[in-house]
Chains A and B, each alone.
Chain A
Amino acid sequence: MTGDRPAPDALAARLAELLAQAALKNQRAFEDLYALTAAKLFGVALRILRRQDWAEEVLQECYLSIWNHAGDYAVQKSAPLTWMTSIVRNRCLDWLRRPQQEASGEEYEIAVEAWQDDSPGPMESLMASSEAAALARCMQQLEAKQRQSIMLAFHHGLSHSEVAGHMKQPLGTVKTWVRRGLERLKTCLSAPA
């Protein structure tokens, strides 16, 4: 979060323009798009995959996919960064679906420590970004256990059973927290501020 960044709306407009250029196979525009988004998307991939080499491979595949499908973005109704982030998240989750790709126990423990260090990070940055102010407000209104289980699942790509293991709670309980938390978030986000 550096101060010389364009405001969220200006950034979104710029990214949409670069995607349109990439659809026309403008490689310079695509390089600019990469420069503006790669660190965000690499962060997303690394938090979910927890392995540098996997995250690099997935990021490469995702940018090739974005290059090949930039034209399809025109018919999407999403913000550019939302569209690109979803491509990365989905590719990461596909990657983890392969049974042989499960992180080993040791890496898992290291990763857990890392989360504990940065666990206030995402929430703080969220509050700093006006774009996400509503989401931050609504996240804060959740019960702590709902908020934590949603963050572990969404932010770190944990499955229900991994969240349950991490929070030392029964699977059914965790599923309920996630489901109720999401319902409350939706209601809160659709209410006027």
Chain B
Amino acid sequence: MTGTAHKYIGKSVKRLEDERLLTGTGAYVDDLKLPGMAVMAILRSPHAHARIRGIDLSAARALPGVIDAFSAADIGPELPLIPIRLAPFEGFERFLQPPIAVGKVRYVGEPVAVVIASDRYVAEDALELIDIDLDPISAVTGIEQAVAGDVLIHEDAGENMGSRYTVGRGDAEAAFADAAYTRRERFVTNRHSAAPMETRGLIAEFDAGIPLLRLHGATKVTYFNRRHLAVAFDLPEAAVELIETDVGGGFGVRGELYPEDYLVPIASRRTGRPVKWIEDRRENLMATNHSRDIVCDLEIAATADGGILAMRATVQGDMGAYIRTNGGVVASRAAQFLPGPYRVPSFSCDVQFLITNKTPVGTLRGPGRFEANFCRERMLDLMADDLGIDPAELRLRNLLEPAELPYRIGELVPGDVNATFDPGDYPSALRRVLAEIGYDDWKDRQGDIIDGRAVGLGIACFIESSAAGPPETARITAAPDGGIEIRTGASSVGQGTETGLAQIGAEYLGIDIDRIGVLHGSSTLLASGGGTFHSRNTVMAGNAVRLAAEALRDRCVELASLRWNTEADELSYRDGAVHRPDEAAAEPLTLAELATFARSRGGKETLSADAAFENEGKLSYSYGAHAALVAVDVATGVVEVKRYVLAEEIGRALNPALVVGQAIGGMMQGLGGTLLDHMVYDEDGQLLTGSFADYLLPTSANLPDITAIALEEFPSEFNPMGFKGAGEGGIVAVAAAIGNAVALALKPHSIVINELPLTPDRLRALLRAVGA
């Protein structure tokens, strides 16, 4: 669609969502109150690993205000297991989680018992009255310990290795044998969680008589979840409704199936009342998916002038106590993205998934990429230093050139043998970032002391996939009053889905955007839907809306031809109406008039069109570069990020302001992930970072001067509108860029920056060890 002037697409249209959110009239799940509703609280395991000897609910049940209480014994013996939706590697089936602990608890936070009461205050009072008799077992809290297998977390599995596989291409062994340069390092990316501002929550209405299970607070993959919950509760799919409310952020962790997605409906079924459960922050930090806990043993082989020949790695992911819906995504993507946008002819990676007594792991924005980029980009800087090559120069030598694309990476992607990088210009994106941050002004001042602090400018390149998954659906309906309703199978977790889809609808229907309302996510809206993950909304849902708009236009022409009793091919649709070639003959028929006409016909039809967009598994690849300028107070280890530039090639921006918002939001989450976020367990598996006083998130006081650039040079060939996902490019290379910057700032001291987070304590310990 080049060369065409657009009214809405490509414009920073203000958000439709804002009015209600700005005035406090949004409807997040905790804002809903249903008649007769009760409130649920969950007793969670205080031990990381223990046998359950007994649970006494009698005192809790007797507390005034308590309606019911249950544990596994009350709802067993057949309990469903949380299914795997993605990356279901062989062996994982041995480690699936029941919704409530049966016989054993395996992580601090695992649900053990449930109380339903008149309100949350009483429910928490009741939790204190539950007597659980636990027999603690030694906890497995590290990858090495898990591998050793002296203590088994799932005895029947016989090991703590969830799954293991190898991917590769070329001949890494030969490459390493002959290489002029090799280096090996061990990198650790630490355990994070998404910590969206809204914790999870659900309201279940279970009416066994109708039957109907309605679950409010669902999001992300409502149709998949509906399908699964219907089976779990032995209901027809049509009897299960997953309703999406306003959502306070997802970042990969919200909307997956968790124990509570079963426990809340069970509570409603048992009590015959709607039941609400809202996770508090203490629960959220211990019970919502963790991520990023990866150890990577990485080796690189290159020519004497820095041409990469091969990479070889072991990637070990600490999966926590169970394998849940996201399967092996995190570690498998870490492996797959290790080579990044570079020319790495030979590659071999042993990918391992270890089970430990910690909170289970799932996707977190840029899963595996954030980790892989840190490992690889740090290694490239080490290589640059060893070989005396400027880091930017080294990257330009090794980035895949435009002529080498498309470039197949399917050998590294389990289940997607045709995965291919689409056309692009990676060196150009890096050059743009280098120019923007003034790399030439800083490259010879690395490690200099300016105003009492050591400065460093670090760079990193990345490539990122988007738009995976099943087809996405849309329906557009025109009402007699002129209103246009768009329904999408995609979800909104706050990223502006309503606005983006309205822009596309308005553009292709040629109408004012104010006429459009967008309904999203709930499984009641459409027969099926794909969902929202992997930054796919703009690509998948956006193209589905366009197809629906085009289908609606065709329907309008058909109806107009009936109404005017003329041949359809004489008529044309534009600007919200169907026009006759001879305008004098009749006024154009507007969408509203055609909708009225449709109603008045024998079958009383509505004027609507359905569509689905399928990209046949062809992922689009955004790519780009990050650069960070840091100042390190060497004496205290405090790192300040002063300036940050990032560029991402996204094909085409639907709404530039929203794209920049994603980039900056992602960047700051990445800054947290590099310097602050850290889930810490002690050797007994106790979570020490159980509140926001200890699990630290970045604030406005951490803000660098940020420039986020969206490049629109290579529209995706895999969807007609040329979009690529733009939700994760902002975060994926932050640890890489800041890690490199800190290492360069501290260059004179020759310390090893291989482990996140880069806290003042860690930096000073490293510096102290070398006498600095």
A and B associate = no
